[in-house]
Amino acid sequence: MLVLALVAGGAWGAWTWLGRDTGAARAAAEKVAAGLAAGELPPGVVTGEPTGEGEGLAAIVEDMEGAKHAVSVASVTEPESGSATATLRHEWSVPGAEKPWTYETPVELRKGDETWTGVWSPAMVAPDLTDAETLRLKRTQAERADILGPDGKPIVTERPIQRVGIDKTKVSGAAAATSARALGTALDINVDKFVTAVQQAGPKAFVEAITVRSGSPEEQAARAVDAPGVFLVAGTRELAPTATFARPILGTVGEATAEIIEKSGGTVSAGDVVGKGGIQEAQNAQLSGQPGVTVSAVGGGDPRVLFETAPVAGKPVTVTLDIATQNAAEAALADIEPASAIVAIRPSTGAVLAAASGPGSNGQSTATQGRFPPGSTFKTVSTLALLRSGVTPSTPVECTQTFVVDGRQFKNVDSYPKDALGKVPFSTAFANSCNTAFMRLGADLEPAALPTAAAGLGLTADPSLGVPTFLGSVPTPKPGTDEAASMIGQSKVQASPLGMATVAASIAAGKTVTPTLVTGVEPDASDGDGGAGSSALPTASPSGSASASPASPAASGSPAASPTGATPTPSNPITAAEAKQLQTLMRGVVEQGSADFLLDVPGAPVLAKTGTAEFGEAGALKEHAWMIGIQGDLAVAVLVVEGEGGASTAGPVLEKFLRAVA
């Protein structure tokens, strides 16, 4: 019995030590796995790892930057004679790859002085990796898709370009700097910055100054520079028909900047071509497609491909912009110095046919993101609220040159016709834009009347247009001066040209119109906010009112956008009968009011409303000039920032545009 007890005790002890070794071996394997995942093996985790420069784990994974490596212990063999083998399970999340790269590798474990460690081998990092090999990650960009017009023909597509710069294999030293200065001067770029870049570049570098369209004046200017090292490299790039065509809306395509790469979380690498601004940026995921990824073992002879995915071409995005209409809008704005915009919508469908921002907008989309008081063009909204309160076109109203509210004096424009003062039909007050009549009538409206009317005309909706946009904001006015100023489109009322074009479109269609700009967008493909986006433009504040941020949908009387991006129908949309009255009133502006210059525009009769919005400090007031118009199945809004009056500044722009598209 004693012998049996001793044998049993010895067996129990052996199993105890074996269990301890198994646990210790697994713990050592876990440390190896953690070090491999981190890209660095701490001292004591493995034995035999080379420590020279360009050797060991860090050198092997150096070119895998951007990929995330997860390693776990799949299994550990039973220890035997101080040795065991662990199987590690690897998973690399490679930017751009739809699925991870997974595999298993062995790692030998040995017990030293009561301590288990791993034994270094490159094969623990990747399958069959040798001492001479390292890993290299290469991404291949997919073919970028076009932006198509409503007819399915490309608007933005591959067009020939020239990359202009200095080839340092052909010039060096002081001569390279001299050539760079000559080229930079000819191209009107930042000369000192370009010269510095050339001086700091290596002896075999091509230092790009600018990318230009083939056949452009910039290309001709570069070719005229007679200096060594000036070099042009032909290529292609996704471009619109012209350099200015709807640029703030469409955006551009170019090499990713360091900032874009850093913010991408590894999905964008140096040299990648990405969308910058507008639709190109907002829909970059769909347009750019899926890059191809290759992981190879290199350095030991011919490269061995360990993991590979093929690039998947991008898918086109379709826009509603009409090339001829957009060109006409841009031509009408070409000579205007301050920021300006024209937006044209087809009321029957809501399609945005043109969204042009003039050269004074400096690349910003005044057309779709500008936030300005709409002035008297907003009287179309106020009139809808008044019609719903019982006012008719023939209702007699009091129009005086001035009107005092809570001690503040409001007035009509100095050129207001004297024969339209006094007791006049509401239609006359509308045609001549009598501020004081609207203010008197507004005092009897319910507080929610203006926000409700604005929502009924689509002004305060938040549609998903595929790019950041802003239509308008109409907070519930407070009694007194706020209410009076709101009736004439000032105080805290704000709108973009897109918003006021939507109002005109709703009046023309006899129903609430939701504008559309981008179609054919796949779910979750958008990188940008398709609804209201914050504008890079300054918020203009009308005189006598505080600067206000756009109100939330609840505050402005606008329904919140649905999760799918569709804009729900407002609670009180404009009706066909209401629209008919507004159409008649707007035609009166042309026939007997301030827009009589539109009487002879070819085509269907033009309906219009002028608008002037004051802003700035008392004694130094400035004006924004607005005008909206309807002609057949076309609704238009025009804005000239810091103009001199709706009829005198925005009016000729509208006329020029309508004649061009007639």
Distance of CA 119 to the CA centre of its chain: 51
What is the C-alpha separation between 146 and 156, in angstroms, rounded? 5
What band does 401 get if pLDDT is binned at 50, 70 and 90? very high
CATH code at position 305 = 3.90.1310
Q: Are residues 355 and 218 in the same domain?
A: no
Name the residue with tokens 């230092």: 207
Name the residue among 505, 550, 517 with its Cα closest to residue 532. 550
Name the residue with tokens 């002037």: 612
Q: Are residues 445 and 481 in the same domain?
A: yes
What lies within 8 Å, CB to CB, of 554 at 6+ separation is 560
From 256-265, 340-349, 432-441, 466-475, the region with the lowest mean pLDDT: 256-265
What is the per-residue pLDDT across 239-251, written as a single tens digit (0 to 9) for each?
999 989 999 999 9
Task: Please say if the pLDDT value at position 386 is more than 50.
Answer: yes
What is the per-residue pLDDT across 597-644, written as a single tens digit (0 to 9) for each?
999 999 999 999 999 887 766 666 778 899 999 999 999 999 999 867
What is the per-residue pLDDT across 161-177, written as a single tens digit (0 to 9) for each?
999 999 999 998 899 99
* 3-state SS class at 7: helix
Tokens of 130: 């040798």
Contact 343, 368 (CB under 8 A): yes
What is the C-alpha separation between 359 and 621, in angstroms, rounded? 24
CATH code at position 512 = 3.40.710.10
12 in a domain, yes or no? no
Q: Are residues 649 and 512 in the same domain?
A: yes
Task: Say what the pLDDT of residue 527 is.
Answer: 42
What is the C-alpha separation between 480 and 171, in angstroms, rounded? 73
What strands, in cross-sheet order, belong to the sheet with 46-47?
A: 46-47, 116-119, 101-111, 83-93, 68-76
Name the residue among 594, 572, 308, 280 with its Cα closest to residue 453. 572
Q: Are strands 206-213 and 230-239 parallel, antiparallel or unpaired?
A: unpaired
Q: Are residues 234 and 342 in the same domain?
A: no
What is the per-residue pLDDT across 340-381, written as a single tens digit (0 to 9) for each?
999 999 999 999 999 999 999 999 999 999 999 999 999 999
What lies within 8 Å, CB to CB, of 646 at 6+ separation is 375, 376, 377, 594, 610, 611, 612, 625, 626, 627
Where is the domain boundary, 315, 338, 359? 315
Q: In b/e form, how buried is each residue of 493-530, taking b as 16+ CB within 10 angstroms?
A: bbbbbbbbbbbbbbbbbbbbbbbbbbeebeeebbbbbb
Task: Please say if the pLDDT value at position 12 is more than 70.
Answer: no
DSSP state, residue 492: T
What is the C-alpha separation between 345 and 463, in angstroms, rounded? 14
What is the C-alpha separation between 93 and 70, in angstroms, rounded? 8
Tokens of 255: 């090499």
Task: Please say if the pLDDT value at position 556 is more than 50.
Answer: no
Question: If you average pLDDT over residues 495-523, what whole number do you get?
Answer: 93
Where is the domain boundary, 267, 284, 315? 315
Cα dihedral 182, 183, 185, 191 sign? negative
Q: Are residues 201 and 330 in the same domain?
A: no
What band does 73 get if pLDDT is binned at 50, 70 and 90? very high
Where is the domain boundary, 131, 158, 178? 131
Name the residue with tokens 């020029």: 656
Name the residue among 346, 319, 345, 283 with its Cα closest to residue 150. 319
Question: If you average pLDDT over residues 393-401, what whole number do you get?
Answer: 95
Task: Please say if the pLDDT value at position 534 is more than 90.
Answer: no
14 in a domain, yes or no? no
Name the residue among 443, 440, 435, 376 with its Cα closest to residue 401. 435
Task: Please say if the pLDDT value at position 555 is more than 50.
Answer: no
* 416 φ/ψ angles, rounded to the nearest 5 degrees: -60, 130
Mean predicted lDDT score pLDDT of the chain: 88
What band does 524 get if pLDDT is binned at 50, 70 and 90? low
Task: Please say if the pLDDT value at position 45 is more than 90.
Answer: yes
Q: Are residues 305 and 337 in the same domain?
A: no
What band does 567 get if pLDDT is binned at 50, 70 and 90? low
Q: What is the DSSP string of 524-565?
A: T--SS-SSB---SSPPP--TTS---PPPPHHHHTPPPPPTTS
From 207-216, 325-334, 526-535, the region with the lowest mean pLDDT: 526-535
Considering its fold, how many domains does the chain have in total?
3
Name the residue among 120, 102, 144, 116 with its Cα closest to residue 55. 120
Q: Are residues 457 and 578 in the same domain?
A: yes
Domain that holds residue 646: 323-661
Task: Please say if the pLDDT value at position 499 is more than 70.
Answer: yes
5 in a domain, yes or no? no
Q: Is the pTM of this model over 0.85?
A: no
Task: Say what the pLDDT of residue 531 is.
Answer: 37
Q: Are residues 227 and 368 in the same domain?
A: no
What is the C-alpha separation between 7 and 385, in angstroms, rounded? 101
Contact 161, 140 (CB under 8 A): no
Q: Are residues 252 and 339 in the same domain?
A: no
Q: Are residues 549 and 609 in the same domain?
A: yes
Which residue pairs from 623-627 have beta carbons closer than 8 angstroms and sit at least 24 positions apart in sequence? 624/372, 624/373, 624/375, 624/540, 625/649, 625/650, 626/374, 626/375, 626/376, 626/377, 626/500, 626/650, 627/377, 627/595, 627/651, 627/653, 627/654
What is the per-residue pLDDT across 452-465, written as a single tens digit (0 to 9) for each?
999 999 999 998 89
Strand partners, 236: 160
Amino acid at 546: A
Contact 75, 87 (CB under 8 A): yes
Task: Give Cα separations from 212 to 208, 215, 222, 378 (angstroms).
Answer: 11, 9, 10, 43
Q: What is the dihedral of CA 217, 223, 228, 234, to 10 degrees?
A: 90
CATH code at position 124 = 3.10.450.50
Q: Considering just the CA atoms, what is the radius of gyration of the chain in Å? A: 35
Q: Are residues 381 and 505 in the same domain?
A: yes
What is the C-alpha separation between 84 and 411, in angstroms, rounded? 93
Q: Are residues 528 and 562 in the same domain?
A: yes
